[in-house]
Structure 1
């Protein structure tokens, strides 16, 4: 059960040695190792002291055999926004950094006819304790059902509630986008453009709904010439900017469904001699590094994706992270986004 040698005896210390030194049962030692919350602090300290004294290191293979799972959590994604995936991973790593858990990342093709077969093979081979499903594959009910069938815990990440609290971490995209667009309307903007995210993404749909709700509340509507579809990449923001800003009388403000596309629109505005924010106000979504790396700094919605990664990991494996990681039943699975106002927004010079 150990991988290190006891310096005094020359033999590998075992879990039985730890139990004897701490004056507890082998089962109690196992519970301490696995961070069970059903252990008193006095007992926990006694066992940990015995572990340190003996130089005992639990055998990960033996633990995996006992749990019938590897000490892994899987991140499954098919997302065109690499910064979003990276930020989510960092949140997961923040949560598991002091544990024996590791994360494996598996990109998938959501359009593949073999998606479910490939995921079945992957999950059966890797035997993770749990899986985190990033959008848009988090919206695949069959994939969630497959995790259930295989006994793999899962958490679905989304821009709206996709499941019950045990299986979901989400944000409030629709409400916060309505708030952000409302800021533009309060400043006096009446002709407002919109760059949508990719078809088939719940986040794109929720953000579009929030945009239209804000306009409807003010008695406004979106003109066809002020609309463009994108796919969350910079290049499609450039395409959208060329379409919307080539009109004789372009809108005075544009909401873009993510920061990368907003940066593309700003690039086109600079090329055309359109001042931001003097002639055109722009808002993005994510609060990615891009938002502060461009000029002017981008007003945007801060999507708490790193915090969502941390919450997802805690939701999956709180018992392996210590008592402080436990999610209270009263804790909402919705982590709110916030509007961040920077230099890309101002009152319109014309209307």
Structure 2
């Protein structure tokens, strides 16, 4: 074993893990594994490290030990979201939060699973992870949530309008955001506004449509059901809905699509029909994902800070996991501020004739 000066102790300075590593002739990582009880260390090496610890009077940093322990905390992010842009923002935030909280992030897709298969997968998941982050639409699945709650696994539902006593939520006020962006179109003089709904399996879709309706009612404008089309948060569903709206004898002067993917599809259909955006048609989206700025003109939209929301959800999960050991159950409803982003896809209507 290498000889290490004990001047650090004589001067009252705390011995570092690097000094222990040098004395034991191993790496600092090996010292950390021994201190934290990792089984993947040879007995001889373990004894060598512990001898150096005793001789140098090393006291492990409690904060560092907590951080190392957190490395064994597994949090799952399960998704079936059809929007690639949304998923990208979600993963960025979840990975950032996992790195900051020093937890292991397990990412899995349940695309194509039946409701019963989802419940079975949730049951198995509940036995292997400490917490679960559920984005839409899985956060709306009563079966999935019930299985995880029954397994006593903390859950944070992301971007869901529903709030219950069993799981925490991180969301924006979709009703208010839907109303505000509609009011923006109305303020410019649009009164014939088309609306493309989000997927009916998500409560946020309903709240956005309710906000749209509320803004029209306040302005004294009756809802024209012919200007409302069902979408499913996919680009293709946006194409189909936009074709129907713009094929009308009296088409809308503006279209509010319930996410950016569908709004980008509206712009594409408008261009194909020889319409100029925003001179002939104003278009607004929702979420402010990368899809909003990869089309021309760039989309006015509601900024839902998806990455920051996922990051915050990781914090809530880690706190819930720590509290669970103390038999404390706390549900959080964290409402995040949204923002109306004005870009070049909106202008006053050329005519309301």
Q: Report the structure number with the largest CA radius of gyration.
A: 2
* Deviation for aligned residue 1:29: 4.8
CA contact (8 A) 1:187 1:346 kept: yes
- Correspondence for 2:86: 84
From 116, 119, 133, the counterpart of 2:119: 116
From 100, 103, 106, the counterpart of 1:101: 103
Q: SS of the counterpart of 2:170? A: strand
Q: Report which stretch shifted further, 271-280 or 145-154.
A: 145-154
Distance 1:201-1:19 versus aligned 2 partners, 3 A rule? farther
Q: Distance in 2 between matches of 1:238 and 1:135?
A: 22
Q: Report which stretch shifted further, 128-137 or 103-112.
A: 103-112
Q: Report which stretch shifted further, 153-162 or 254-263.
A: 153-162
Q: Distance in 2 between matches of 1:19 and 1:306?
A: 46
Distance 1:279-1:19 versus aligned 2 partners, 3 A rule? farther
* Deviation for aligned residue 1:100: 3.4
CA contact (8 A) 1:256 1:283 kept: yes
Q: Distance in 1 between matches of 2:55 and 2:119?
A: 48
TM-score by length of 1: 0.78
* Deviation for aligned residue 1:118: 1.8
CA contact (8 A) 1:132 1:157 kept: yes
CA contact (8 A) 1:178 1:214 kept: yes
- Correspondence for 1:283: 284
How many residues of Structure 1 are paired with residues of Structure 2 in the alignment?
Answer: 305
CA contact (8 A) 1:19 1:29 kept: no
* Deviation for aligned residue 1:110: 6.0
Distance 1:116-1:277 versus aligned 2 partners, 3 A rule? same
CA contact (8 A) 1:174 1:208 kept: yes
- Correspondence for 1:183: 184
Distance 1:102-1:274 versus aligned 2 partners, 3 A rule? same
Q: Does 1:227 align with 2:208?
A: no
CA contact (8 A) 1:70 1:129 kept: no
Distance 1:152-1:246 versus aligned 2 partners, 3 A rule? same
Distance 1:96-1:18 versus aligned 2 partners, 3 A rule? farther
- Correspondence for 2:170: 169
Q: SS of the counterpart of 1:121? A: helix
Q: SS of the counterpart of 1:254? A: strand
Distance 1:18-1:198 versus aligned 2 partners, 3 A rule? farther
List runs of 5+ in structure 1 lacking aligned partners.
36-57, 322-328
* Deviation for aligned residue 1:6: 3.5
CA contact (8 A) 2:154 2:320 kept: no
Q: Does 1:33 align with 2:65?
A: yes
